[in-house]
Amino acid sequence: MQLAFTFAEYRALVRRFAARLPALLVQHPATAELAVQVERLDIEGTLEGRFSVAVVGQMRAGKSTLLNALMGQDLAPTGVNETTATINWFRHGRGEQTGVFRVNWRDGTATDVPIGEITAWLGKGEAAQRTRWLDFFADSPFLAGANLIDTPGTRSVLASHEGAVRGFVLDDAATAPGEQAATDGTGQKADAILYVVNPVAKESDADLLAMFDEKTRMAGAHLHNSIAVVQKWEHLGDDPLAEAERKCARIADQLAGKVAQVLPTSGLLGRCTQRLSVAEFWQPLADIAHATSASDLSLLLEGPEFFADSDDLFDDMRIPQARRVALAKLAPWPVVRLSVREAARLRLASGEALRQRIWHCSGLEQLQRALHERFFRQAELIKANTVLRRAWQPCNVALGRLHGLEQQQARELARAKDLATRLGQAQEGEPAILPEVRRFVATAEATTAAFLASVHKLRRDLDDLREEARRNFEALDGDLAALERAANDLDLPATDKVWLLSVFGAHGLEVAERLGLPATAPTAQWIATAESLLERCQDRAGPGAKGAWAYRLAGERLEHILDLCEARA
């Protein structure tokens, strides 16, 4: 069995698995109801659907602010109290579609509502209680590539909120039926998780991610599609960004094995750089930092009341009080303070330079790059793996049932054969009914044998189907895990790391891309290159060698490539 080496091949394999699995399951009453479960997964629809990233975290962790910054629009409701009362999908849309949001009711109907009426769906509102999920639409570059999903906060003041999140993210079978229904109606779970934490990671954060690991991943699979971000760090100390980075390092240790990366982000800073103009906000702040003495600046930044105080408080204040008061009204105090401090520290006289600096401090650029590299570049593979995982459980349940049925029928067949043997040994002159009993036993034996053969064939076909999917899944899922591990392995020489990452699919899954060759290269060149790289792997994968794991895995992949080359040649 050849392994898939392209997205197209792997998608075709997943489609074949999704189509054949229900057809096999309906062939026997013991597994027929499992076919319905597989069909409800809508594997084909999920494969065709847009990649989706769910934003998850405790209430008031700053999820909605981060969403708005990623979208570049204030579409997700924000506030000091709990605002997100439903699962909210943000999708790409244009024109009139952006002026409404779609309410998907619990009774299965849907209604388009003007965006100005969203307040009825916040908190404990009656409308929110009758809603399964909401769809919002925006003409956003980010949404053109992926959906975003805002979830009610964990530790929510509404008990049903936390159940909804568990059902959506964790695929939690223990979720109450009503809560599960609130999430399944979306027709799709999240392909990736963006987990928002406060600057101090609590035990419940690790607990939630442990449950996420247990419920949604195959045993041993790497959590390559989850990232944690630390929000609301703008108020931390005199150098909040440095403090946020230190906290991220500690949280990364606490959540080791649960998320692939922990980044400091500030949706608040990012959104301010998007909506506030240089002339009205950033240039005046740069002027304050540039024209104010160090002693006055220190006093000015003690708090918002000092920033807006009268000019008499300062020795040489060149920016009038009225202008400072107006600036303080345009953005939250932590944004103003951090911006002035950065302008003074870096001596930024240009408002545009200051705006760019604060955008960099927001971490959104780094987050978008991480999302692209970890999620979107391999979105097709992650999505295919996601839907394959969901079909795994009913497939395994069916195999277990068929195995038990085989054993039962084998015992019945053995009993029938034994009875037939004993009847065949009966003496002449026995009751006249004996020939009829013999015929009945022979028929039962033949029927049982045929039934056993059909169950055995069904189990074998199902097992073959699963094995093909399993081998390809493990190979390509292993590529994702190897990419992550190799990128962070300091024991790998930089020159080797370049071609190792390529072999693992960093530049594409096609054979030529893995080998660093042009797509038009002949098969003979594929073979020569693969053999050369394989020889390097074998030389470097000895016992105790640094980075030996990477060379061993790359060697296995190169052997698969050589098998494919020989088959095509």
Token readout for 153 is: 């906060």
d(CA 490, CA 333): 41
CB 420 within 8 A of CB 442: yes
**Sign of the Cα pseudo-torsion (200, 197, 219, 145, in order):** negative
Q: Which helix (H) or strand (E) holds 524?
A: helix 523-540
* Chain segment 238-263, per-residue pLDDT in tens: 889 999 999 888 888 777 767 778 89
CB 307 within 8 A of CB 339: no
d(CA 503, CA 554): 6
Across 495-504, b (16+ Cβ under 10 Å) vs e yields ebbebbbbbb
pLDDT at 558 over 60: yes
pLDDT at 77 over 90: no
Token readout for 89 is: 């999908």
CB 228 within 8 A of CB 213: no
Confidence label for 32 from pLDDT (cuts 50, 70 and 90): very high
Q: How many CB atoms lie within 10 A of CB 303?
A: 12
d(CA 496, CA 446): 63
The residue ranking higher by pLDDT, 246 or 473, is 246
pLDDT at 182 over 60: no
Q: How many CB atoms lie within 10 A of CB 505?
A: 21
d(CA 406, CA 418): 18
d(CA 135, CA 90): 6
Confidence label for 219 from pLDDT (cuts 50, 70 and 90): very low
Return the domain boundaries, the chain.
Answer: 49-270+365-379, 277-352
What are the DSSP calls for 327-355, one per residue? Answer: HHHHS-HHHHHHHHHHHHHHT---HHHHH
Nearest to 351 by CA among 285, 409, 406, 288: 285
Give residue 526's pLDDT.
92
Highest average pLDDT, of 79-83, 158-162, 419-423, comes from 419-423
Confidence label for 208 from pLDDT (cuts 50, 70 and 90): very low
Token readout for 280 is: 């009205």
Q: Strand, helix or coil at 516?
A: coil
Give residue 161's pLDDT.
47
pLDDT at 265 over 90: yes
Nearest to 391 by CA among 73, 146, 3, 44: 44
Give residue 567's pLDDT.
79
pLDDT at 140 over 80: yes
Highest average pLDDT, of 21-30, 195-204, 373-382, comes from 21-30
Mean pLDDT of 553-569: 87
Residue carrying the six token digits 């195999």: 399
Highest average pLDDT, of 294-298, 314-318, 473-477, 505-509, comes from 294-298
Give residue 482's pLDDT.
86
d(CA 254, CA 195): 14
CB 122 within 8 A of CB 77: yes
Work out whether strand 192-197 and strand 226-230 pair parallel, antiparallel, or are unpaired. parallel
Give residue 175's pLDDT.
36
Rg (CA), the chain: 31
Q: Which helix (H) or strand (E) holds 133?
A: strand 131-138
Give residue 416's pLDDT.
85
pLDDT at 499 over 90: yes
d(CA 152, CA 87): 7
The residue ranking higher by pLDDT, 42 or 81, is 42
Give residue 82's pLDDT.
52
Give residue 221's pLDDT.
32
- Output the pTM of the full model: 0.66
- State the greatest distance between any 2 C-alpha atoms of the chain, in Å, as a whole number: 129
**49-270+365-379, CATH topology level:** Rossmann fold (3.40.50)
The count of residues in the chain is: 569
Nearest to 118 by CA among 86, 162, 143: 86
Token readout for 520 is: 């038009």
Give residue 87's pLDDT.
84
Q: Strand, helix or coil at 100?
A: strand
pLDDT at 315 over 90: no
Compute CA distances 104 → 111, 117, 119, whole Å: 7, 15, 16
d(CA 562, CA 13): 21
Token readout for 566 is: 């020989």
Give residue 274's pLDDT.
95
